[in-house]
Chain A
């Protein structure tokens, strides 16, 4: 799980203006509210996750991704 957490942070980091917020993030950090990621960029984060883990994330699941933990859960479910 530690690896998955680090990998997702790495993806999010690309879209952050303030990289330090992402470096200091926890699993419970909210991607838009806490890490100050532009809400439009969630589309790109999801696409990066799909490509990296070779999964497809449907619109319903996208709406559930608020925190880093939510993203980790979606990946685990799809891979499971």
Chain B
């Protein structure tokens, strides 16, 4: 008998808001977190806009000092801030001393796309090259290892189940949720922290700049740069941040009267195999459609149940193809197409963290009965206009709307796909 799995806690570090409340307000009001960065201009980036959460102003900053994380990768800092918010949101206490007993029922899968390159660039490479290795100090590994997010949160919270980091490019955050979901579903854990985190560093973003997959057309108008589904979308806007969920076995959550945001009905992960039109950087439609069908089947849900799609929609030429894939997979079009919005229009593309940040946006929409605006697509791409009725994409927030069920999908380099179906309990 498979266990049922629910979301009982949420934590978020986003360029347009740190903490659930600020983030939700930003979503409702359509506030963009994207800015122009002089550092990128000085380095002669083609794309000089991006999104970086300002944790220096965060009330959670004291946590970083308390747990000696000031010199840790931003990847780990964001993960810890989001993770501890999610933990307390779920109704748990943060132990005051490291002597608390281990919690063998709770684990953490916290992924990242590119990882801790900030620490490699700032310290590991230059200090090693200068032959003063001991100056790396003893914390260098824990502050730069890819599993640093889950390891650090375990050190604070005493998590004694599986601790690891997954990585599948822009698919990472959605994949981590599915991995954690399956672990609880199969009875191997009662509770999992699931999410992903991506740091800011010019060394993180320059490879994407070199590929010309980031936009170069809006350096003076940062809030217009990320324009998923627009005819003038010209590349994604790089961004950083983290999102974290507490997933929990339903009966356990009920017994302790936990807040329940939604049930995860099912999920699916696959790849198009970089065949049939798929490549390292482009999705195979067949693979995407199989993934969405796989999620629906795993969830035992019908396409008609889906009220809202939280798209991957990254503001590239792949957006029209994504809409076409959704339409074919769900067999829905025109006015019958579900509502759809792109959280990347507000926060940019946080690479590995994107899937979980966007999932959190949709969970906030479900909880607070609204759909956030999808910015900058007034000039809807004609190929998209042919598939769905334009009213299905909100340009202003839609309020007082009941979202009973939503689908979240992410796609990434390697032709990898993932899709999750969430439902109100």
Contacts and interface: CB of A to CB of B under 8 A. Distances in A.
Chains A and B bind each other: yes
Interface of A: 15, 17-18, 40-44, 47
Contacts, number: 18
Contacts of A44: 137-139
Nearest to A36: B98
A43 B97 contact: no
Interface string B374-400: 000000000000000000000000000
A44 B136 CA distance: 9
A47 B135 contact: yes
A43 B137 contact: yes
SS class of chain B's interface: helix, strand, loop or mixed? loop
Contacts of B68: 15
Interface residues of B, number: 8
Interface in B109-154: 134-135, 137-139
Interface in B79-102: 97-98
Nearest to B66: A17
B137 A47 contact: yes
A76 B333 CA distance: 81
A33 to B, nearest CB: 15
Contacts of B98: 17
Given A17-B98, A43-B137, 11 more contacts: A15-B68, A17-B97, A18-B97, A40-B138, A41-B138, A41-B139, A43-B134, A44-B137, A44-B138, A47-B134, A47-B137
B381 to A, nearest CB: 54
A16 to B, nearest CB: 10
16 contacts: A15-B68, A17-B97, A17-B98, A18-B97, A40-B138, A40-B139, A41-B139, A43-B134, A43-B137, A43-B138, A44-B137, A44-B138, A44-B139, A47-B134, A47-B135, A47-B137
Nearest to B134: A47
Nearest to B141: A40
Interface string B56-69: 00000000000010
A43 B138 CA distance: 6
Nearest to B67: A17
A55 to B, nearest CB: 14
A20 to B, nearest CB: 11
